[in-house]
A and B are shown apart, each in its own frame.
Chain A
Amino acid sequence: MSSAAITPDLIAQHQLTSQEYEKIVAILGREPSYTELGIFSVMWSEHCSYKSSRLHLKKLPTRGKLVVQGPGENAGIIDIGSGYVIAFKIESHNHPSFIEPFQGAATGVGGILRDIFTMGARPVAVLDSLRFGRLDDPQTGARNRRILTGVVSGIAHYGNCFGVPTVGGETVFESCYDGNPLVNVFALGVCRKEDVFYAKAAGVGNPVIYVGARTGRDGIHGASMASAEFTEESKQKRPNVQVGDPFLEKLLLEACLEAMQTGAIVGIQDMGAAGLTCSTCEMGSRGGVGIEIELDRVPQRETGMTPYEIMLSESQERMLLVADKGREDEVFRVFRKWGLEAVEIGTVTGDGKLRVKQHGKIVAEIPNRELADEAPLYDRPHTQPMRRAPMRAPALPAPDVQRALPALMASGDLCSKRWIWQQYDYLVRSSTVAGPASDAAIIRIKETGTSVAMSLDGNGRYCYLSPREGAVLAVAESCRNLSTVGARPVAATNCLNFGNPERPEIMAQLVEAIEGMADACRFFDTPITGGNVSLYNETLGEGIYPTPVIGIVGLMPTAEPVGAAFRNSARTLVLLGGVGACDETRFGGTQYAKVILNQLWGLPPALDLDREKRVQEAIREIVNQGLAESTHDLSDGGLAVALAECSFGQAGIGARLELDTDLPPDLLLFHEGPSRVLLSTQDPDKVAAAAARHGIEAPVVGVTIEKEIEVRQKGKLLGSWAIAQLKAAYDQALESHVR
């Protein structure tokens, strides 16, 4: 085995510590070769090994009645009945999207789609959770706009061509994401229960087959890049970002699903982060077998590639599969039909090792299990979560409710995101029941006659004030979004976006958020079946707000969606859960505090989990019995913002509200207390009865009227707005910022 000298510098360049290097030497019983060092460095990178988070991720609930496959595979799998399952997961592509927004986001979509169809499932929905710096910032605004437009067109480019509908998500603007935008992509696919495939190699002597794009020098060390902070030199990492080809991916999808039907495929995994290295050693490790490959047979886009480059390349649109010996031709025939290159590059062996040869000579030989599953595990010190926000509220100025609402509706987080989602094909596959701008996206499953609802939620401001409470609130909101459209939440996937875990106060954010998420998911019976951790989201020492994002899926009968928009005038308005309570300390994380007061303080809204669950049970019952004409949960911006959103439907129907409470007007209209749903109905008595069955108050707060919103408190007018004007501000805000 030829080998360049392994110096301490070289080890440090590979982001391995001296202890980690010693562990490598102990595993091999010798010094590693240069290629082996590279292989270990990617597999043991934070991105691939979860070495800082694994200890805490174990606290998450992962089992449940419907769970067919939990964490550890390419995607989680849930039984949806009638012989069908759904596969879904969320992935981050934060670091590449900062360096090259278009391709970074595009390949983020490509990567998660492969994770889904590698399990045998056809992708039927994508949602994105996006976070950027502020577009109106005098210093960074221009760059943030460039990142936003690049990311959005990258997602559109890839998803539209591939033919998967992009049906929802969230977009948030906050200064802390200036140097670290977050691009989290969720995908969901469907397949028959008996057609699920696993990324497991088996059968000594079986051929190992490479399919798809040729291997080039792109994306080398992408996984390691995603495991470090950004510095001024990060721009030089652009070659680390891969280039996506959605057409090739579409062919791979069709060919893989067709090849799986032959019955000649034993196991299959996509080549994502850490490319050929990760797919070979993980498939070998899961199957408890070895894999031997000859690099000369790997299709290559460039000449003179070294073993190191071939093993670490993250070229996109590649798959690795193990076929039944003697039935290779059945597999090759399918790939030929789709015009794809498929090559036998090696075999499954019985010795548990990843053996890599070039020109017949061994260039790397590493035990699969140790490489894939025995990465170092760190119990990093964690202290108090970092926060630089006062606990006590500042002296609040006298509220100008009349002006505050239009300002909020035109603010970055609350304004219409139509400019973004209109660039996505959200209709392809003719299964979209509720698309973007719904509380939850709904996709019908034609095969079963039932539907799946999905919602992605996270709130960095809440989590900055309290990572634990913020994570619980995100889970509660996601479940509430599903319940508001009538779906029963059944399972979850999470994407944990944090700063540098080597800082104890950042590690504390991560630990508390995971624990909060674990408690909440246990409470709502939504086990986490997989996900992703993205750490080191820091630039020049400035970290992001702790931003755990949760994606929850729910099941429901297929029916025309109830929707958030008011449909008719003279309907009774009910505020399920009541106006709620809020003090000034719990007001500091709201959109009102952000947009109107430009401050952040205190704690996130208080949540009573038990009450939340009962509110959700009540609204599901109300929706599924057809008692409501519209339903919309209260979240960012509180009651007034929800009311405005309900008024933006095609019918032009608003509302007259009469509130009987002593809360100060700003808190009353804009506090973000959870466990509340605003609905319009023709059957207020039946709604009240349903709410009462669950022990939830459901005060009548007003009536729908044409063209206007009017709010009174104990008879006194707080504000009145013409819908057309309010909606114009809401509709035009984002586009005016982007252009």
Chain B
Amino acid sequence: MTFGVIVFPGSNRDHDAAYAVSHVLGQQVEIIWHDSASLGAVDAVILPGGFAYGDYLRCGAIAKFSPVMKAVKKFAADGGLVLGICNGFQILVEAGLLPGALIRNRGLQFICREVALRPATTNSPFTCAASKNRVYRVPIAHGEGCYFADERTLDELESEDRVAFRYVDNPNGSLRDIAGVLSRERNVMGMMPHPEDATEPLMGSTDGLVVFQSLISAAVRA
């Protein structure tokens, strides 16, 4: 399976994502520069963590105008698998591919630590290999990760089974403990925690593998 990893100026977990996919999972990786008009022949695309364009305005607010985002939107509209992690999630929200917004953490500080996540659905290409009966230990590293949306949107997300992950012990004030959400067609997911940083015993946890393993098994079935 070939994963595309998009590099915006200021992306800094592009390397982590590419390493997890290639070295840990043994899949192909294509690095895609932000001014590319096309994604090439990839089976899934990852928008990695970082501070795209410095994030001096609103996180992801500039990145959504990046040329590559047109290609990402088309890819998503055609049913392609799109995973946004941390800053990637913020960009997907800004670009309108996912609902809601990510605002300053409740404590107003950047937080880097391991959190416990519970999959809220296994009915998605990003969580199909997960179990709802266990928790997954994955780190977070963000200052603006508090998931926010109006009540109607939140109700809709829940009624359509589009909450992907919830925090067991909410670290940032996210409404309804939401850590990750799915698009209506279920082929786009954004999450604030970093599964790519929990893929080897050396990193203290391998629980992040489940997201990538889900993607790989979903791609095989497709």
Contacts and interface: CB of A to CB of B under 8 A. Distances in A.
Interface in A404-430: 421-430
> Which of B15, B56, B112, B139 counts the most chain A CB atoms within 10 A?
B112
Interface in A236-252: 245-248, 250-251
A730 to B, nearest CB: 17
A426 B109 CA distance: 15
B202 A160 contact: no
B112 A247 contact: no
B110 A160 contact: yes
A427 B10 contact: no
Interface stretch (B46-54, B128-136, B156-164, B179-187): B46-54
A560 B202 contact: yes
Contacts of B110: 156, 160, 423-425
Contact of A430 (B112, B113, B203): B203
Interface stretch (B37-45, B193-201, B213-221): B193-201
Contacts of A153: 109
B172 to A, nearest CB: 12
A423 B19 CA distance: 25
B51 A430 contact: no
Contacts of B9: 247, 250-251, 338-339
B102 to A, nearest CB: 16
Contacts of A593: none
Given A161-B10, A250-B12, A427 B202 contact: no
Contact of B54 (A245, A424, A429, A433): A245
A251 to B, nearest CB: 6
Contacts, number: 80
Interface residues of B, number: 31
Nearest to B108: A153
A671 B78 CA distance: 69
B111 A427 contact: no
Contact of A427 (B19, B20, B109, B141): B141
B191 to A, nearest CB: 16
A424 B16 contact: no
Contacts of A433: 202
A425 B51 contact: no
A247 B16 contact: no
Interface in A243-268: 245-248, 250-251
A504 interface: no
Given A339-B9, A427-B141, A430-B197, A247 B54 contact: yes
A376 interface: no
A429 B194 CA distance: 11
A27 B112 CA distance: 54
Given A251-B9, A428-B16, A161 B54 contact: yes
Nearest to B140: A427
A558 B201 CA distance: 12
Main secondary structure of the interface of B (DSSP, over half): mixed
Nearest to B35: A337
A141 to B, nearest CB: 21
B124 to A, nearest CB: 24
Contact of A560 (B20, B113, B201): B201
Contacts of B12: 161-163, 250, 428
Contact of A250 (B10, B56, B111): B10
Contact of A247 (B10, B141, B201, B202): B10
A424 B142 CA distance: 9
B10 A422 contact: no
Interface string B1-45: 000000001101101100110010000000000000000000000
A560 B205 CA distance: 11
**A246, A339, A425 — most chain B CB neighbours (10 Å):** A425
Most chain A C-beta atoms within 10 Å of own C-beta, residue among B9, B19, B194: B9
A338 B7 CA distance: 12
Interface residues of A, number: 30
Given A160-B141, A163-B50, A429 B111 contact: no
B54 A427 contact: no
A250 B12 CA distance: 9
A446 B15 CA distance: 11
B113 A422 contact: yes
A338 B53 CA distance: 11
Contacts of B20: 430
Contacts of A429: 15-16
A571 interface: no
Given A251-B9, A423-B109, A560-B201, A430 B141 contact: no
Nearest to A248: B54
B146 to A, nearest CB: 16
Nearest to B51: A161
Interface string A696-713: 000000000000000000
Contact of B111 (A246, A422, A560): A422
Contact of A426 (B13, B16, B54, B112): B112
A421 B109 CA distance: 11
A444 interface: yes
Contacts of B199: 430
Contact of A428 (B13, B23, B53, B109): B13
Nearest to A160: B110
A247 B51 contact: yes
Interface string A552-571: 00000010100000000000
B95 to A, nearest CB: 20
Nearest to A255: B9
Contacts of B16: 428-430
A421 B111 CA distance: 9
A246 B202 CA distance: 29
A153 B143 CA distance: 11
Contacts of B201: 560
A428 B141 contact: yes
Nearest to B16: A430
Q: Which has the most chain A C-beta neighbours within 10 Å: B13, B55, B199? A: B13
Nearest to B14: A163
Contacts of A423: 109-112
B56 A430 contact: no
Given A427-B139, A430-B203, A560-B201, A247 B111 contact: no
Interface in B112-158: 112-113, 139, 141, 143
Nearest to A338: B9
A426 B110 CA distance: 12
Interface in A424-479: 424-430, 432-433, 444, 446
Interface string B46-69: 000111011110000000000000
A100 B137 CA distance: 38
B54 A430 contact: no
A615 to B, nearest CB: 27
A153 B199 CA distance: 29
Given A425-B141, A428-B141, A446 B10 contact: no
A10 to B, nearest CB: 40
Interface string A338-349: 110000000000
Contacts of A446: 19, 23
A251 B55 CA distance: 13
Contact of B196 (A161, A424, A430): A430
A560 B204 CA distance: 8
Contacts of A251: 9-10
A423 B143 CA distance: 9
A418 to B, nearest CB: 8
24 contacts: A160-B51, A161-B54, A162-B12, A163-B12, A163-B13, A245-B54, A246-B51, A247-B9, A247-B51, A250-B9, A250-B10, A251-B10, A422-B113, A423-B111, A425-B110, A426-B112, A427-B112, A427-B139, A427-B203, A428-B49, A428-B197, A430-B199, A444-B202, A446-B23
Given A423-B110, A430-B16, A560-B201, 18 more contacts: A160-B141, A163-B50, A247-B10, A247-B51, A250-B10, A251-B9, A251-B10, A422-B109, A422-B111, A423-B109, A423-B111, A423-B112, A427-B141, A429-B15, A429-B16, A430-B197, A430-B203, A446-B23
The 3 lowest CB-CB distance pairs between A and B, nearest first, are A163-B12, A247-B54, A430-B16
